[in-house]
Amino acid sequence: MKILLMSFLMGTAIILSSCSKPSSSHTGNADSTAMTQSRDYYTCTMHPQVHLDKPGVCPICGMELVKASNSRKKEGNGAATMVPLNDRDQLLANVSTVQVGYEDVEHSVRAFGTLEIAEPNKTIISARFNGRIEKLFADAVGARVKQGDPLFEIYSPDIIQAENEYLQAVKAGSSAQQSTVSDPKSKLLLLGLTELQIHELESANTVPLVMTYYSPANGIVIDKNIVTGVYVSEGSTLYEISDISTLWNIAEVYESDAGYIRIGEKANLSIATYPHETFTGSVSLIYPVVNPQARTVKVRVLVNNANGKLKPNMYTETVFTRKKGRALTVPVGAVLVTGKRNLVYVKAEHENHFEAREVGIGSRFNDKYEITWGLTDGEIVVSEGGYLIDSESQLKSGTGATHQHGGTGTPETKTKEMPANMPMEHNN
């Protein structure tokens, strides 16, 4: 009996000791996992999601892979937004910094436009009579004429008949017949004769066979539809004369930017013909309708052209600028526009450490962004080399690319594709 009892106790002890001992298979799996986590791997600086166990090139961009470690990833999880970069690495990466500060902010809207002749300055000369052109004085398109200059001579039975009626009324003239005289005179004025021509007609007391037609306006002959010897009929267009001392610049502005433009404000024009000159105008009208295809609004800018350097139908780049006061600003290169958020790398209190910080951006002007929130006056931010620091940050965290670099773009709310039929683009 004692022997059986002893055997039972020894067996129980053996079973209990084997249960408390770790399984060899479990130990092997744990060792394998630990080795996997601490094993080095190779990745791409531009595509950190690439993990390979041997050297080579990135299958996405073809760049040479660099060696990384899972242990580095584990350590970096505690401070994912902090990137250490010593002086040597900053020099190699061409990292530059700048201090954030306040300055006067402008909101600029850029648009493409076309110079046009101001509609009030156009004069159409049409025939008020039937007749034959005997002589041309303004005989070419582009000829400059002044009000009162002779344009052409014409033989017209209609004019001769009206002149005879006027002379008969004058010869039979008396105080009682003033209304009878004024009616033929009004007819001559409507036919295009001047007061001086009518006075000379009274003095000569004879009707000339040919009448000279004088220009009613100043300007340049834009169009000419007659030559010597041609017959014209009443209502036909003879000349188009326009004064180009003042031009209209019609700019196409996106509807989202039209609210920043005010009537009376100044606008600057750049023209390819004069690359080193800037022309100034003032906004005279913001058109009340939107182009349904291009989603643009026309803005009319009144431009002085007294020297005649500008020509109708020239293309212009028009910049509308408004003062917005003082605000924090950073260089455009300091902001990494990711599409979902805008990042800036700020120099941290720790020596040679940079911290990623999300910021809000407003207007873009003179290669700078207005900062609406996220930074304070006097902080140091990375102005150049932010892409490399951002890549290093992703590499340190061991995560895949969560955004695309686009530092020189505009905010997502302001970015839009150019319509196919619209040559314009704007910068905020």
List pLDDT tens digits, range 38-55: 467 788 777 777 888 888
Mean pLDDT confidence for 249-272: 93
Split at pLDDT 50, 70, 90, the class of 414 is very low
Residue 21, C-beta contacts closer than 8 angstroms, at least 6 positions apart? none
E strands in 332-407: 336-337, 342-347, 353-365, 368-373, 380-384
The topology under which CATH files domain 75-105+325-414 is: 2.40.420
pLDDT tens figures, 370-391: 888 988 898 988 888 766 676 6
pLDDT tens figures, 212-224: 999 999 999 999 9
Q: What is the predicted pLDDT for the residue at 88?
A: 73
- Does residue 300 register a pLDDT over 80? yes
Q: What is the predicted pLDDT for the residue at 354?
A: 81
Q: What is the predicted pLDDT for the residue at 105?
A: 81
**Mean confidence (pLDDT) of the chain:** 79
Of residues 40, 43, 44, 49, the one with CA closest to residue 72: 40
- Does residue 160 register a pLDDT over 50? yes
The span from the CA of 123 to the CA of 240, in Å, is 6
3-state secondary structure of 259: helix
- Answer for the pair 294, 282: CB distance below 8 angstroms, yes or no: no
Mean pLDDT confidence for 392-415: 48
The span from the CA of 225 to the CA of 237, in Å, is 7
Q: What is the predicted pLDDT for the residue at 348?
A: 82
Split at pLDDT 50, 70, 90, the class of 65 is confident
Structural tokens at position 276: 């080193």
pLDDT tens figures, 117-152: 999 999 999 999 999 999 999 999 999 999 999 999
The hierarchical CATH code for the domain 123-242 is 2.40.50.100
Alpha helices per DSSP H over 242-355: none
- Does residue 363 register a pLDDT over 90? no
How does 330-351 read in b/e, with b if 16+ C-beta sit within 10 Å? bbbbbbbbbeeebbbbbbbeee
- Percent of all residues in the chain with a pLDDT value above 70, rounded to a whole number: 73
Give the lowest-confidence range in 27-31, 197-201, 352-356: 27-31
Q: What is the predicted pLDDT for the residue at 69?
A: 55
Bridging pattern class, strands 266-271 and 66-69: unpaired
Q: What is the predicted pLDDT for the residue at 394?
A: 63
pLDDT tens figures, 334-347: 888 877 788 888 88
- Answer for the pair 382, 333: CB distance below 8 angstroms, yes or no: no
Mean pLDDT confidence for 68-75: 48
Mean pLDDT confidence for 81-87: 69
- Does residue 425 register a pLDDT over 70? no
- Output 355 or 239, whichever has higher pLDDT: 239
- Answer for the pair 198, 207: CB distance below 8 angstroms, yes or no: no
Burial of 171 (0-12, 13-18, 19+ CB in 10 A): exposed
Q: What DSSP line would sit under 182-238, residue for residue? A: HHHHHHHHHHT--HHHHHHHHHH-S--S-EEEE-SS-EEEEEE---TT-EE-TT-EE
3-state secondary structure of 163: helix
Q: What is the predicted pLDDT for the residue at 129?
A: 93
The topology under which CATH files domain 109-118+244-323 is: Elongation Factor Tu (Ef-tu); domain 3 (2.40.30)
